[in-house]
Structure 1
């Protein structure tokens, strides 16, 4: 599943995100969603989330539910 739709993401999901610093390379970082930061229902570059370790990035794919 991709991370472009807000309703497919919830707290506790394991996701792969792209951090702001990694946007040029597209390097993925795996973590567990703590907060959903994007208010809109859809974002073409991925819904912005905060991971439990505090890192923030745009969700690229959902790893597990």
Structure 2
């Protein structure tokens, strides 16, 4: 699943995100969601989240449901 819909993402979910610094290269970072930072129900580039380790990026892939 992609990470464009807010309803699909919740704290504790394992996801791949793309950090701001990696947007050009598309390098993915794996982690567990701590907070959802995007308020809208849908975002074309992915919902912005904070991982448990503090990194912030947009969800590109949901690894577990």
TM-score (norm 2): 0.98
TM-score (norm 1): 0.98
Deviation at 1:59, TM superposition (A): 0.2
Structure-2 residue corresponding to 1:5 = 5
Give structure 2 stretches of 5+ with no counterpart.
none
Q: How many residues align?
A: 65
Give structure 1 stretches of 5+ with no counterpart.
none
SS in 2 for 1:64: coil
Could you list the structure 1 runs, at least 4 aligned residues long, displaced by more than 2 angstroms after superposition: none
